[in-house]
Every structure is written in C-alpha cells, then in structure tokens.
Structure 1
C-alpha cells in the first residue's frame, strides 16, 4: 500500500474525536481522518466514500451505537471487510464487539502508542 491510510473515527464526544485526530495526524502513513459523531452518520460516510481503510468506533453513541453500526455495515457486501477497532470505556462490550465484527478492541483512555500499534498491524494486512 503506497498511499497513506484513510481512517474514519466515530465518537459522539467531540473532545475524544479531536484527541484521536491529533494522535493520528502525527503519523505520516495516515493520509486523512474523517470524523462522525454517531453510527448512522458513519454508515452514510462509509456508503459514500470509496477509500476508507479502517474504522475507529465508539460503542456508546446516540442515534446508532457502535454495535448497531457493525451489524449494519456487515450487510454491505462491498464494505463489510473494512477493519474496525472498537474504542470504548465499557470493557464489558468486548465479547459483543468481536461477535459483531470488530477486528480489535481498545479501552479508553486511548494511549497513542497502543492505538498506533493496532493500526500498523492492520496496515500490514492491507
């Protein structure tokens, strides 16, 4: 993969989104970060955007939560294989997240090096 990654970050907390965005923009192999504040907005972005390589997904959100988002994206044949890393404060959602299609799981507060290691693991698979 020559171009940098395009990452969709989904979180209803604007401060968390900005924090994730600033963490990711430090890395030259991340080309762009798209932001959404709930699962429904994220689903629409995924449908309309060609080149999303990875989704960072909060679980607890209004309108459509992260689990519902993963269930919905699994119904889109051309999009269901985008890797998803769940980022949440609720560790009890780990099993359900993996059952719903998550590739990886991180408990907030997010540490930049842990997040980046997981992103690199995915980038190496692309």
Structure 2
C-alpha cells in the first residue's frame, strides 16, 4: 500500500528547502512538496489546501517562527490533525516543540535516512 503524501516544507532558508525537497522527492510515498518561507506563509497554504498530510517545520524563521506556527496549527480544528515534524539546529527547543504538539523532531543537518524513517514511522504505522 503506497500512500501519496502532500508535504509542506516550512523553512526561510532556500538552500534548506531545496535540500529537503530533493530528499522528499526520493521518497516513494511523497507525491508533492509545497514550500513556505515562514509560519504565516505556511498557515495560509494549509488553509487553502485541505490535502496537506504532513508539515516539516523549521523553528528559526522571520515573521512567524516554527513554535508560534505550531501553536496556531494545534489550536485550529481544521489543522490540528496534521502531523508536524520539527527540524532545527537548536536541540534546546525539542521539549518545547513536543509540548506544543510536534509529532517528531529532527536535528539539522538532516540525513535522508532519518527523514524517511521518521516519515514512515509517523505516517504508515
């Protein structure tokens, strides 16, 4: 059974986004990768697309950071079921991210194997 995921990658760093996108597109379960530059941009995309299955979320971003966005997503009935994997260089944010409702946490730089394993464990168990 192959589930086709629509993944929203949220990161203000274009290089990180490109890297993330190329890793995700190698995953046979990923159908499409949407990109957002910050939390506000991401929220707008989620509201306009009901088919997003997974959010990969950077924490440190301008406008609205990842933790602020996570709080909004978890407080909104239309979005609160979407799994969120937080991606960051800041290990100290892990407990806060998980308390706010993140479903997973990966340290940057992200390895493809770790990302695939985390997505599979979240989405296909």
Confirm or deny a common fold (TM above 0.5).
yes
Question: CA separation in 2, counterparts of 1:97 and 1:111?
Answer: 20
Runs in 1 of length 4+ with deviation above 3 angstroms? none
Deviation at 1:5, TM superposition (A): 0.4
SS at match of 1:50: coil
- RMSD of the alignment, in Å? 1.1
Structure 1 counterpart of 2:11? 11
Aligned residues: 125
Deviation at 1:78, TM superposition (A): 2.0
Question: CA separation in 2, counterparts of 1:86 and 1:98?
Answer: 9
Q: Give the structure-1-normalised TM-score.
A: 0.95
Question: CA separation in 1, counterparts of 2:101 and 2:20?
Answer: 22
Q: Give the structure-2-normalised TM-score.
A: 0.96
Q: Unpaired runs of 5+ in structure 1?
A: none
Deviation at 1:30, TM superposition (A): 0.4
Question: CA separation in 2, counterparts of 1:3 and 1:66?
Answer: 26
Structure 2 counterpart of 1:22? 22
Q: Unpaired runs of 5+ in structure 2?
A: none
SS at match of 1:74: helix
Q: Which moved more, 1:74-83 or 1:28-37?
A: 74-83
